[in-house]
Amino acid sequence: MFTIATWNINSVRLREALVCRLLADEAPDILCLQEIKSPVEKMPVQSFADLGYRHVVARGQKGYNGVAILSRLPIEDAGDRDYAAMGHARHVAARLENGVVIHNFYVPAGGDIPDREQNLKFGQKLDFLTEMRDVFHAERPERSILVGDLNIAPREDDVWSHKQLLKIVSHTPVEVEHLGAAQDAGKWVDITRQDIPAGQLYSWWSYRARDWDAADKGRRLDHIWATSDIAGAGHGSRVLRPVRGWTQPSDHVPVFASFDL
């Protein structure tokens, strides 16, 4: 069995202490980070190694994006893909010794206007999701886990108000449709919702809210999926809401799941 967590950290160097706190307190076997905003060579990997996370597979870039997989278990680099030809570090994969492949994704946020004609970033987001779909269609993933900040809250109970967010980027019908097509293409199972099938569930609260906890206007943007052949081994899902209240937090919180593999 192993436990995996995903967390958009919004700068791994700025929040090195928070990552170390999570690793020390919760001890996931694997932690996938998004938006590390750092070249790989400048990541504080020694701090993580000191806590037992000696295996790192990452793709970084200065000041933006970036994805990393930290592991206590041996992993090997399983490559990356430049989705939508953006030249961004938004995907990396690693393979465990048991053959399970972990994909760590950071899907573009998509800007503020949900119209690709008016907003280049929204078009890039849709193109990124379309390429995910096409890749999964072309080569059906097996024994794989996909995690990350997918920047879409697909279900009505993944947002604080379905009605008020229908025209807000991250919950628009066209985004939800694109994400669903990518999920279907790979026969991916949403492990979090397999474990927690009903009820409001969020992993992100805006920095703009003066009191995020009281307002509770959240969205579930961070996901853990598994291919259907191993989805039955997934369990123990949880979202660590209290982390949003840590000092100088990310606006995202970690999402966890365990797998009996």
8 in a known ligand binding site: yes
Give the pLDDT score at 210.
85
What structural domains does the chain harbor? 2-259 (3.60.10.10)
Closest Cα to residue 252, out of 224, 218, 225, 226? 218
Model-wide pTM > 0.95: yes
Burial of 63 (0-12, 13-18, 19+ CB in 10 A): exposed
3-state secondary structure of 92: strand
For residues 218 and 251, what is the distance between their CA atoms, to the nearest angstrom? Answer: 10
119 in a known ligand binding site: no
- For the annotated catalytic residues, the residue numbers are 106, 149, 252
**Confidence label for 21 from pLDDT (cuts 50, 70 and 90):** very high
**Confidence label for 209 from pLDDT (cuts 50, 70 and 90):** confident
35 in a known ligand binding site: yes
